A and B are shown apart, each in its own frame.
Chain A
Amino acid sequence: MRKYLFYLLIFGLIGCGASESDVVRGTVSPIQVRVVSWDHAAGEFRLSFALLDGPEAADNITAVSLQIFSIDDDQETAVWQGSATSFSDYEIPYWTAHPTVTEAGFWGVNAELNTTDGETIASDFIIEVVAESGSPLLGDVPPASQNKTLATESDLTKLSSGPDPNPAYYQLTVAEALAQDKPIVVGFITPGLCQTEWCAPVLGSVDSIREAVGDSANFIHIEVFDDFQALTLVPEMAEWGLDTREPWVFVLNQEGQVTAKFSGPLSPRELDEALRPLIE
């Protein structure tokens, strides 16, 4: 009898403690969108974003379609719609789309996410599109920079903040590479001073493609910082019109024209897809 009374008491106390819950999980998207690119200029631009479920990358998303709306007008028609491509071969898997937005301003992005269990969930976010990119545009020939190389700075540790710099990246100036008839990959990266999964792996992505294509292209790493203590920027950052966010990677064709540029995370596959057509 005592046992039953005890259970009854416990049940009653639980009942007293059970108040109306303020939170239930439901149909609202549990996904957090993190826009990880920033070079969004009027025209066609690369928009990259990560999808997080809690602190981890959402691994149940199979497809993403985007619609971009003006938030200044009472427009219900998207100014652009298209799909995003998944790049899961990176520390934090991310998605990339190449929307075209013709005017600068703030734009609303509606992302429809298809999940592995057949559901479609929506996530909205806002991006800013600027009138012009300060960095070299697609088709431009960038400045023929006289960046530091092993010919001008023999101490490899001053050419990169990374723990184990590869001399292969510091053989040519941009000016010298432009004089050769080869595609060029130029990366403005600070591998030792940006240590998170968002930016640090970019040089690794460049590394894997450099190993894959061999001498078919020239690869140049320009360390973002001139002084790793004072954190002063190398002059090439301003010369290329780069704001101080990093990393940046540019792909140039044999004529020296920019054919692709990437702000933020860059997976080996995304770089390969940009470079491969130039060497085949």
Chain B
Amino acid sequence: MKKIFKPFKQRMLLFIALFGLLISVQQLQAHAELLEAIPGPGEILIESPTQVLLTFDEPLKEGSDIFIFTSGFQYVEDITVSIGGSNDRQLIADLPPLAANEYNVQWSVISADGHAISGTYAFQVQAKSASTDIFYWLIGVLMIGFGVIGVVFWKNRGKYETAPNGL
């Protein structure tokens, strides 16, 4: 088990302090619910995502946060979390490049009514091999080739049609 870094604990403590404060001054009538997560639960990516984007059904308040940790509970440092500028129902974590591994997204949000909820899900960044790259490159070339041939045939279709009188 790898040692978790201090900033993680500090941020968690700060979040919990805010959590208690917000909850104590304003009670709840509803809960912000997660509508969409990108990347989503169970997704396997072949490239590191640049961010985690979570969309909720209610506006979020400061104190909402996202933590990323690996399957060994090793915290991912250098992530920047913000509430979406034009969409205050979105929570965004800008990520550093992630190595191939399984990652857990633990989110905690405080909705505008002061209620806090949290959840955790996993996604995976898959190692991309050279053979995978070549495979996709070949597939891409073939598909584009078929496309070009199809367009050429389509544009010249009159030349290949049989005359109406059968001659």
Assuming A6-B154, A15-B143, A22-B45, is B123 touching A28 (CB within 8 A)?
A: yes
| Bound CA span A200–B60, Å | 22
B102 within 8 A of A: yes
Stretch at the interface among B83-91, B92-100, B114-122: B114-122
Task: Tally chain B residues at the interface, Cβ within 8 Å.
Answer: 64
Residue of A nearest to B162 (CB): A1
Task: Tally chain A residues at the interface, Cβ within 8 Å.
Answer: 63
Counted as pairs of residues, one from A and one from B, with CB atoms less than 8 Å apart, the total is 171
* Residue in A23, A231, A243 whose CB lies within 8 Å of B43: A23
Closest CB in chain A relative to B44 CB, distance in Å: 4
Q: Are B124 and A26 in contact (CB under 8 A)?
A: yes
A194 within 8 A of B: yes
A1-38 vs B, Cβ < 8 Å mask (1 yes, 0 no): 11001101111111110111011111111111111000
Assuming A22-B45, A243-B24, is B122 touching A128 (CB within 8 A)?
A: no
Closest CB in chain A relative to B15 CB, distance in Å: 10
Q: Are A128 and B44 in contact (CB under 8 A)?
A: no
A188 within 8 A of B: no
Q: Are B1 and A71 in contact (CB under 8 A)?
A: yes
Assuming A22-B46, A35-B118, is B73 touching A15 (CB within 8 A)?
A: no
Max chain B CB contacts within 10 Å: which of A27, A71, A233? A71
Task: Provide the residues of chain A in CB contact with B139, threshold 8 Å.
Answer: 18
Q: Are B69 and A8 in contact (CB under 8 A)?
A: no
A86-124 vs B, Cβ < 8 Å mask (1 yes, 0 no): 000000000000000000001010000000000000111
Assuming A1-B162, A72-B3, A193-B27, is B73 touching A126 (CB within 8 A)?
A: yes
Closest CB in chain A relative to B35 CB, distance in Å: 8
Assuming A11-B150, A72-B3, A125-B106, is B42 touching A30 (CB within 8 A)?
A: yes
B7 within 8 A of A: no
Closest CB in chain B relative to A47 CB, distance in Å: 13
Q: Which of B119-140 contact A (CB under 8 A)?
A: 119-124, 126, 136, 139-140
* Residue in B45, B118, B149 whose CB lies within 8 Å of A12: B149
Assuming A1-B160, A32-B41, A245-B23, is B146 touching A11 (CB within 8 A)?
A: yes
Closest CB in chain B relative to A216 CB, distance in Å: 33
Q: Are A72 and B39 in contact (CB under 8 A)?
A: no
Q: Are B121 and A198 in contact (CB under 8 A)?
A: no
Interchain residue pairs with CB less than 8 A apart (13): A5-B153, A9-B153, A12-B150, A16-B143, A31-B121, A52-B119, A71-B1, A73-B1, A124-B104, A125-B104, A194-B28, A196-B30, A243-B24
Q: Which residues of A contact B (CB under 8 A)?
A: 1-2, 5-6, 8-16, 18-20, 22-35, 52-55, 69-76, 106, 108, 122-126, 128, 190, 193-196, 198, 224-225, 231, 233, 243-245
Which 6 residue pairs are nearest across A and B when measured between Cβ atoms?
A15-B143, A30-B42, A12-B150, A12-B147, A9-B150, A108-B73
